[in-house]
Amino acid sequence: GDSVTQMEGPVTLSEEAFLTINCTYTATGYPSLFWYVQYPGEGLQLLLKATKADDKGSNKGFEATYRKETTSFHLEKGSVQVSDSAVYFCALSSSGGYNKLIFGAGTRLAVHP
């Protein structure tokens, strides 16, 4: 079945460091790909998405490019802030059916001043 694999955390960075969180997927068909963020004590917020190969999703300085050839959707940010500390979830929505989301395990990011 479809699945998402994320790099294990926690990821600990200093403020202004470069961030990469790896995400790869296995899916039949042509899934849409998402990054959701969960701040401490809060629910899931959509961070960015891409619906087809080579699309780049971006929001709040975060970017991710849908790479069909490597089945990847890595999240990047050039300069992280303390306020970016959260858990980041990669997810896919399979084509067809009723588009349930399949999530990765989540990666906790801690940014220190």
Partner 1 sequence: EPEVTQTPSHQVTQMGQEVILRCVPISNHLYFYWYRQILGQKVEFLVSFYNNEISEKSEIFDDQFSVERPDGSNFTLKIRSTKLEDSAMYFCASSEWDQETQYFGPGTRLLVL
Residue 57 within binding range of partner 1, rule CB under 8 A: no
Pick out residues in 8-47 that bind partner 1 (CB under 8 A): 32, 34, 36, 42-46
**What is the nearest approach in angstroms of partner 1 to the Cβ of residue 97?**
6
- With a CB cutoff of 8 Å and minimum separation 6, the contacts of 113 are 14, 15, 82
Residue 99 within binding range of partner 1, rule CB under 8 A: yes
CA distance 93 to 80: 27
Tokens of residue 63, six digits: 């970017």
* Nearest of 34, 16, 12, 1 to residue 107 by alpha carbon: 12
Residue 103 within binding range of partner 1, rule CB under 8 A: yes
Q: Given the complex with partner 1, which of 17 and 101 has the nearer CB atom? A: 101
**What is the nearest approach in angstroms of partner 1 to the Cβ of residue 28?**
16
Tokens of residue 87, six digits: 């858990």
Tokens of residue 97, six digits: 């059916």
Chain residues binding partner 1 by CB under 8 A are: 32, 34, 36, 42-46, 49, 51, 89, 91, 93, 97-106
